[in-house]
Amino acid sequence: MLNIALKMLFRDSAKYAMLVCGLAFCSLLMCQQSSVFCGLMMWTTATVRNIGAPVWVVDAKVEQANEVIPMRQIEVDRVRSVQGVAWAVPLYIGIEQARLGDGSFQNVQVVGLDTGTLTGRPMNMTAGRIEDLRLPDSVVVDQVAVEKFRRKGIKIELGTTFEINDKAARVVGICRVSRSFLGQPYIYTTYDRALQYAKPSRKQLSYVLAAPMPGISAKELAARIDKLDGVRAIERDDLFWMTIRWYIKNTGIPISFGTVVILGLIVGVAIAGQTFYLFVHDNLRFLAAFKAMGARNSTLAAMVLAQAFSVGFIGYGIGVGLAAWFGNTVLAKEAPPFFMPWQVPAFVACVILFICSFSALIGLAKVMRLEPAVVFR
């Protein structure tokens, strides 16, 4: 009987195509928008993921990773004095202005790494060596800097020079790191040189990066450092999720993407529900014939459910496949952001399952009330 039900579905090509296209569009819309939202949230945590230190020490008022409140330089020594700290190094992150060779300007995000250890260095170097940062006036730029400078007519390569706040910067390396939420290029240099590039200020320390000794967890170390006055220690994963929660709570990003996802759900329910109802209505005489020949309501219900979930499975596969193709296309350009964790297709599958169940229930309501005598009219 299920084989007959599928033949009935596939031979009605118009309604079959409408059902598959409607569910595919719904899946594509929800999967693509959810993945772009996840990608945007990953951009907000780029600093945490690029640096990768186990424990971050920040000012006590900081609420998320992209919020920098300068601290005193003495905080580094205070953190080092805490029992269980294997090492602690300073980190500078600030938005500065770079002047290019043609006189145009570009805002950049300067990252000052500890001069001795270069802790937090970019791991994916596409040109040059990170150790060359110890040379005079040297910096390492990321792929975004290469792209943005190229748009301004300047080719960035090893040896290229430009200015940051009227101080010379010479490119000794090119790296590939996660793009920042604000879109400014990352410029890596040593901590001491970063302070020279920065505007003079009484407090210039952005973060203190720390790691626990063997046998001590990062959370335990963060709890110990947290007892120091005026600072807050956050384990890396906690800072990651804290940043995402902050952007979800304090920006309109979730509402914007959530509205599109809800519209996709509404469109899917409307198209699939109406089309499947018409399909069942047009095939009532065949279902009545089966009922007249002794088929039970449970058998007819199984036929209707098989038809509904077959188009749902096919539409879901096409929609998610198109979303994945879109993701592979935009990932090559790194814009717009796109990140599809397994939770996204799982969420979309649950939504499609709901739409198919709803559509099947609409058809089943008519099938359950069906009289076998319909076949003789």
State whether 270 and 182 are in the same domain: no
State whether 201 and 296 are in the same domain: no
| Single-letter code of the amino acid located at 96 | E
The confidence band for 362, taking pLDDT boundaries of 50, 70 and 90, is confident
| 186 in Cβ contact with 109 (< 8 Å) | yes
How many structural domains does the chain have? 2
Picking from 67-81, 183-197, 286-300, 306-320, which range would have the lowest pLDDT averaged per residue?
A: 286-300
pLDDT of residue 14: 78
Mean pLDDT of the chain: 84
State whether 161 and 279 are in the same domain: no
The confidence band for 155, taking pLDDT boundaries of 50, 70 and 90, is confident
Please write the tens of the pLDDT for every residue from 124-142: 899 989 999 989 999 999 9
The confidence band for 298, taking pLDDT boundaries of 50, 70 and 90, is low
pTM attached to this predicted model = 0.82
Distance CA 116, CA 113 (A): 9
The domain boundary, picked from 191, 225, 250, lies at 250
Distance CA 115, CA 134 (A): 7
SS (H, E, C) 265-319: HHHHHHHHHHHHHHHHHHCHHHHHHHHHCCCCHHHHHHHHHHHHHHHHHHHHHHH
Q: Judging by DSSP bridges, how do beta strands 105-113 and 85-99 pair with one another?
A: antiparallel
The domain boundary, picked from 190, 225, 250, lies at 250
Q: Calculate ∠ Cα 39-40-43, nearest 5°.
A: 90
| 307 in Cβ contact with 5 (< 8 Å) | yes
State whether 110 and 177 are in the same domain: yes
The domain boundary, picked from 233, 250, 267, lies at 250
Most confident of the ranges 124-138, 143-157, 348-362:
124-138
pLDDT of residue 78: 93
The CA-atom distances, in angstroms, between 4 and each of 9, 187, 204, 353, 369 are 9, 65, 74, 22, 21
Picking from 47-61, 150-164, 230-244, 299-313, which range would have the lowest pLDDT averaged per residue?
A: 299-313
pLDDT of residue 371: 60
Assigned token pair, 61: 């008022």
Please write the tens of the pLDDT for every residue from 268-283: 777 777 777 677 666 6
pLDDT of residue 56: 94
Distance CA 203, CA 61 (A): 15
Q: Write out the H or E segment, with its range, that includes residue 202.
A: none
Domain that holds residue 257: 2-44+252-376
State whether 100 and 180 are in the same domain: yes
Assigned token pair, 107: 């805002």
Mean local confidence (pLDDT), 64-69: 90
In this structure, how many other beta carbons lie within 10 angstroms of the beta carbon of residue 67?
Answer: 12
The confidence band for 288, taking pLDDT boundaries of 50, 70 and 90, is low
State whether 353 and 217 are in the same domain: no
Please write the tens of the pLDDT for every residue from 24-46: 888 888 888 898 899 889 999 99
State whether 71 and 212 are in the same domain: yes
State whether 236 and 278 are in the same domain: no
State whether 120 and 171 are in the same domain: yes
pLDDT of residue 257: 87
- Give me the residue label for tokens 């569009």: 25
State whether 212 and 308 are in the same domain: no
State whether 100 and 213 are in the same domain: yes
Q: Which residues of 133-159 are buried (b: 16+ CB within 10 A; e: fewer)?
A: beeeebbbbbbbbbebbeeeebebeee
